[in-house]
C-alpha cells in the first residue's frame, strides 16, 4: 500500500514513520516544527492518527518537539491548540492507526503493578549492592537496571488474568480510562479489577533484575553466563 502525506509518497509504513522520526529529531527541542515539516506532520497526524479530531480540538496552533515525560529519554511531539491548551501525540504508527483495547489494558496493568516492581528493585539492590546482570555481567544500580518477568512473562500473566475474568474488548473499554490530554498511559478505572490484578501479579510473577541491555537484548534468547 502506498501512503501519500503532504504530497510525498511512501511505499511502506516503515518508511513513512522513519520520515516523521527524522523530522522529530532534526530540529531544536521545545521549538515549533516549521515550514514544510509542519505541513507534513499535520497531514501525517490528520490521515494516520485515529484520535486526531480529539487531539486537534478547537484548532491547531503549533506542533512542538519535546522530551516525552514518561521516561525522559526520547523525543516526542506536543500539540498546542489555538486556545493555549496542549496535549501529547504519538507518531508511532502501530500505536495510532487504530484503537487497541488490549494494548491499553496491558499498559494499565503495568502501571498498576509499578509499585511492586519498584519495591522489588529496591529490595534486591539493598540485599546485594554488588549485584551484576546474569547476562552481561554489568553492575546493577537503581538507574541502570530493569525488572524482568521471567517465566511466566508479563504478557502471559495478563493473558491468564484476562481469561480468568472473561475480559473482551467491550469490557476492557469499560474498565480503562478514555483518552484525555497528556494522559500518557491508560489507567484502570475498576478498583476491584485493579486490586485483583495486583494480588494475582504478586502471587504469580517471578521477577529478576537485569541490566537494560540484558533485558532488552539477551533475556529472551540467551542463557545466563
The answer to whether 178 and 99 are in contact (CB under 8 A) is no
Q: If you average pLDDT over every residue of the chain, what do you get? A: 91
All domains in the chain, ordered by first residue: 3-96 (3.10.450.40), 101-218 (no CATH)
Cα distances (Å, whole numbers) of residue 153 to 124, 147, 158, 201, 205: 19, 11, 9, 11, 8
With 0-12 CB in 10 A as exposed, 13-18 as middle and 19+ as buried, what is 44?
Answer: buried
pLDDT in tens, 27-86: 999 999 999 999 999 999 999 999 999 999 999 999 999 998 766 678 999 999 999 999
Task: Report the predicted TM-score, pTM, of the whole model to 2 decimal places.
Answer: 0.68
What's residue 222's pLDDT?
54
Q: What's the pLDDT tens digit per position in 154-199?
A: 999 999 999 999 998 878 888 888 777 776 677 899 999 999 999 9
Alpha-carbon distance 127 to 147, whole Å?
15
CA 114 to chain centre: 14
Cα–Cα distance for residue pair 65/91, rounded to 1 Å: 12
Q: Which residue has the higher pLDDT, 113 or 171?
A: 113
CA distance 125 to 130: 8
**Structure confidence at residue 173 (pLDDT):** 83
Instruction: Answer whether residue 219 shows pLDDT above 60.
Output: no
pLDDT at 208 over 60: yes
ω into 152 cis (within 30 of 0): yes
Q: Does residue 221 carry a pLDDT above 60? A: no
pLDDT for the residue numbered 124:
96
Amino acid at each position: 500500500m502506498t501512503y501519500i502525506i503532504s504530497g510525498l509518497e511512501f511505499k511502506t509504513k516503515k518508511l513513512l514513520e522513519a520520515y516523521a522520526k527524522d523530522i522529530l529529531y532534526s530540529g531544536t527541542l521545545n521549538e515549533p516544527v516549521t515550514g514544510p515539516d509542519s505541513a507534513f506532520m499535520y497531514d501525517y497526524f490528520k490521515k494516520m492518527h485515529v484520535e486526531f479530531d480529539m487531539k486537534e480540538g478547537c484548532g491547531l496552533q503549533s506542533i512542538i518537539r519535546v522530551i516525552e515525560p514518561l521516561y525522559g529519554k526520547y523525543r516526542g511531539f506536543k500539540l498546542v491548540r489555538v486556545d493555549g491548551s496542549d496535549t501529547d501525540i504519538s507518531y508511532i504508527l502501530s500505536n495510532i492507526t487504530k484503537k487497541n483495547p488490549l494494548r491499553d489494558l496491558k499498559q494499565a496493568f503495568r502501571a498498576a503493578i509499578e509499585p511492586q516492581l519498584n519495591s522489588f528493585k529496591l529490595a534486591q539492590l539493598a540485599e546485594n549492592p554488588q549485584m551484576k546482570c546474569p547476562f552481561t555481567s554489568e553492575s546493577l544500580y537503581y538507574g541502570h537496571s530493569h525488572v524482568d518477568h521471567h517465566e511466566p512473562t508479563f504478557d502471559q500473566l495478563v493473558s491468564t488474568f484476562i481469561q480468568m475474568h472473561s475480559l473482551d474488548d467491550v469490557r476492557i473499554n469499560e474498565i480503562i480510562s478514555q483518552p484525555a490530554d497528556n494522559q500518557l498511559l491508560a489507567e484502570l478505572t475498576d478498583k476491584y479489577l485493579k486490586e485483583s490484578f495486583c494480588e494475582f501479579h504478586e502471587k504469580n510473577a517471578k521477577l529478576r533484575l537485569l541490566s537494560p541491555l540484558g533485558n532488552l537484548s539477551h533475556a529472551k534468547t540467551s542463557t545466563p553466563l
